[in-house]
Copies of this chain bind each other. A is one copy, B any other.
Amino acid sequence: MVQRVTYQEMRSEFYRILKKLELTDEKAGKCAEIFTVNSLEGVYSHGVNRFGRFVNNIMDGYIYPDAEASLIKSAGSLEQWDGHLGPGPLNAVFATDRAMTIAAGNGIGLVGLANTNHWMRGGTYGWQAARKGFIFIGWTNTCANMPAWGARDPRIGNNPFVIAVPFMDEAIVLDFAMTQYSYGKLETYRNEGLELPFPGGFDSHGELTRVPGEILKTFRALPIGYWKGSGLALLLDILAAVLSGGFATCEVPDCKQENRLSQVFIAIDITKLQNFPAIENTIGMIISDLKKSIPENENDGIRYPGESVVKTRRINLENGIPVNTEIWKAILKL
């Protein structure tokens, strides 16, 4: 059963619960906003569906609600911050802002953030920067949830990676993990009794499979592009650990207590470029060329990353955010 909850109601419920956990007004408000917007924009897995776990992580002491990030090292356009295990989304919003501030002075800014927690939806920070006119490149490491290419046991992370650019008062936002399908998606397919559209991992015989339940058993999710995504995941982890001075995937506790993560936030101020403001035309030209593609299925248009977010946001603002009734009931009881 699915019900619709208005943006305002969801935000105020989240805020109420976070206040009970002794978050300050400001922090409770910001966290409530992020979880609500993630839901509003269709990323329920890292919005309303994940809020209960976020609350548990605070109660269990994995997330310190009052921790503030502190500066460890500043070197020109590059800064390293310690997140002190504060709420991941708040640390990430802060680090994105810092990268933008540095970029506004120096053209580009990089913030490495150590000792933080799950940032929920990487796209949050891409939208944050791009809607203010910045290019954004960022990523996080994760627990070891994917075997390297050719391996059986998970030793690398699926390390979500985000690139965002401003586009017509909105943004183009690419936000993807290095596994072909997230574990959440695999569970959804399994629960609905469906096969995956493409192979998503290995079964117990070491064969590629489209059966989600098999992959959930082996924990052998497939890296995108086979050896290529495996290599990219490894390098993103190395860069995250090195640039933040924080933990690498192999040091992150198991996936249930996925904390002490390392993240990287790069912002570029496009107003500093020689071709500003014609950049808008360049991006418009690229997207309009993409749209001229001949679709495989006549009725499908070719979309750019983030395009559907704007539509989902509008629909959910008008009609309310769809939520599983059981999940919403549980939240109301918190």
B270 and A242 contact, CB distance less than 8 A? yes
A268: which of B156, B243, B275, B285 is its contact (CB, 8 Å)? B243
Residues on A lying within 8 angstroms of B by beta carbon are: 72-73, 75-78, 80, 105-108, 110, 112, 135, 147-153, 155-156, 163, 165, 172, 174, 176, 180, 198, 206, 224-226, 228-229, 231-232, 234-239, 241-243, 245, 248-251, 268-270, 272-275, 279, 282-283, 285-286, 289-290, 292-297, 300, 302, 304-305
A239: which of B77, B163, B226 is its contact (CB, 8 Å)? B163
- Number of identical monomers bound together in the oligomeric complex: 2
Lowest 4 A-B CB distances belong to which pairs? A224-B225, A78-B107, A76-B106, A151-B293
A76 and B272 contact, CB distance less than 8 A? yes
CB distance from A222 to the nearest CB of B (A): 9
CA distance A287 to B281 in the complex (A): 44
A296 and B151 contact, CB distance less than 8 A? yes
Q: In the complex, what residues of B have CB within 8 A of residue A242's CB? A: 135, 165, 270, 273, 275, 279, 282-283
Q: In the complex, what residues of B have CB within 8 A of residue A241's CB? A: 282, 286
CA distance A18 to B230 in the complex (A): 39
B78 and A286 contact, CB distance less than 8 A? no
